[in-house]
Amino acid sequence: MTKIQDHRVAAGFIDTARVYLKAGKGGDGCSSFRREKYIPYGGPDGGHGGKGGSIWFEASANITTLAEIACHPHITASDGCPGKGNRKDGHYGEDHSLYVPCGTVVKRAGTVLADLKEHGQRFMAAKGGRGGRGNTAFKTRFNTAPKIAELGEPGDEYEARLELSVLADVGFVGMPNAGKSTLLSAISAARPKIADYPFTTLNPNIGMVQHKGKSFAAADIPGLIEGAHEGKGLGVLFLKHILRTKILVHLVDPVGFAGMKPEKAVRVIEKELKDYHPLLAKKITILVVNKADLPEAAKVQEALEKKYKKREVFLISAVTGKGVSRLLDRIIKLLPTVKQADLYQASADSVPAALQPKGGFTVELDSEGVFSVKGRRVEKLIAMTNFNQPDSWDRLHRIFKTIGMDKALKKAGCAAGDMVRVGGKEFQWTDATMAAGRPGKFAYKYRKFDQEYGD
């Protein structure tokens, strides 16, 4: 862990977390028959399994960091209970709810699943598996005594990434020691650390500002330097926190930074913002020369006004309060003009295979010479089939024939003796009946492909 990350943990601010979600498995269905004296045709009475518990994320305005979740990354919901005889269904597994700060984005394999921005907004991050059906569900007039019961469906299980970007109306940006923290402490009740050395601020600070009956949230973003979008300094650790802001207040130190003149510092910061995300270049940005009590301040303001003729340049002193009220007047006037459509919206361009719509399957020949059948529905079917029941085998064969898997395997070149892998299990294919024009079947043999998915 780097030194900067150590400071962030010590400060209690964690804005990213990797969590491992495992929703509850559905309870197994029951295969039983009613056997009572003087009731000769009791019939099947196996109950269904209970649904597995789901995992929910809920946004809360009372939380400001992902520290709690980051320290307990393995999140599991309880399984559903199995069904019992006498048509007794199993209890549902208990859902697991976790509170996250407003502004948390939930990602899976780089794809945004949810953007939790409002207090109380909820998102089902991992869905619990449905309970397996008992043998009462398979009773028909042609099969009045089915000996079939499904296993519970496995719940969703994957690794998610949580990213927090603070929700503030106004973001203070600039080179280190430009006076961002001082300004925030002057106009709000926030008390960020203030010192006369660079990178005093190691995490964003938020304060609520009240001015002339209007209120807005302001965020002090840690100092940026040249190359920040590539990770230099505090880099991309905190650039993301200004994506959601409506207005940027660019504070300029009239003395410059590390030998860099103020005019060049303005160009560097604005280039870094644009290189990080094009949207930042389109945001309303107010130039503010801080430290008006220094003799260089007025000259720097005049130079910036000449260079940026279409932009208003303010001269303030966060310490003495000079010009601060006028700056706040301008901010509360501009905030209502910002349209919601112009703000950053978390989105993704692609959808992982695990999240693609259900239905259908594909057949591929892998490097091991095994025909691999992939598809969410067929994989779920395998997971819920009880291979200890011969009737379940027959049902599985009928379903494979109905969905055209037999024909698809034959078309792919599958021959007698070849191995076919479906949902983590491998079956040996036999085409003894194909010569008579009937589709082949899987032999009643299978072996574990992976301990994780095996019985």
Tens-digit pLDDT string for the chain (455 aa): 333 333 333 344 677 899 999 999 999 999 999 888 888 778 899 999 999 999 999 999 888 788 889 899 999 999 999 999 999 999 999 999 999 988 888 999 888 898 898 899 999 999 999 999 999 999 988 888 899 999 999 999 999 999 887 777 888 888 887 888 888 888 887 666 554 544 455 567 778 888 888 888 888 877 565 544 444 445 455 677 777 888 888 888 888 777 788 888 888 888 888 888 788 878 888 898 988 888 888 888 888 888 888 888 899 888 888 889 999 999 999 998 888 766 767 664 444 545 444 557 888 888 888 888 888 888 888 999 998 888 888 888 888 888 888 888 888 888 888 888 888 888 887 754 333 333 344 433 333 333 333 33
Q: Residue 147 to residues 173, 194, 361: CA-CA distances in angstroms?
A: 69, 74, 28
C-alpha closest to that of 105 among 169, 60, 160: 160
Residue with tokens 């020369």: 289
3-state SS, residue 99: strand
**Which phi and psi (to 5°) does residue 267 adopt?**
-65, -40
| Contact indicator for 249, 199 with CB cutoff of 8 Å | no
pTM of the model: 0.72
Domain 13-164: give its CATH code: 2.70.210.12
Strand partners, 84: 88
Quote the pLDDT of residue 184.
Answer: 87
Quote the pLDDT of residue 265.
Answer: 84
Quote the pLDDT of residue 449.
Answer: 31
Give the fold, CATH level 3, of 357-448.
Answer: GMP Synthetase; Chain A, domain 3 (3.30.300)
Structure tokens at 451: 């301990």
Quote the pLDDT of residue 45.
Answer: 92
Residue with tokens 């649904």: 51
**Which phi and psi (to 5°) does residue 323 adopt?**
75, -5
Delimiting residues of CATH 3.30.300.350 domain(s) in the chain: 357-448
Under CATH, domain 170-342 is a member of which superfamily? P-loop containing nucleotide triphosphate hydrolases (3.40.50.300)
Structure tokens at 297: 């301040």
C-alpha closest to that of 152 among 83, 213, 219, 202: 83
Quote the pLDDT of residue 2.
Answer: 36
Delimiting residues of CATH 2.70.210.12 domain(s) in the chain: 13-164
Quote the pLDDT of residue 341.
Answer: 67
| Contact indicator for 140, 385 with CB cutoff of 8 Å | no
Delimiting residues of CATH 3.40.50.300 domain(s) in the chain: 170-342
Query: Which residues have CB under 8 Å from 314's CB, separation 6+?
Result: 286, 287, 288, 289, 301, 323, 326, 327, 330
Quote the pLDDT of residue 11.
Answer: 41
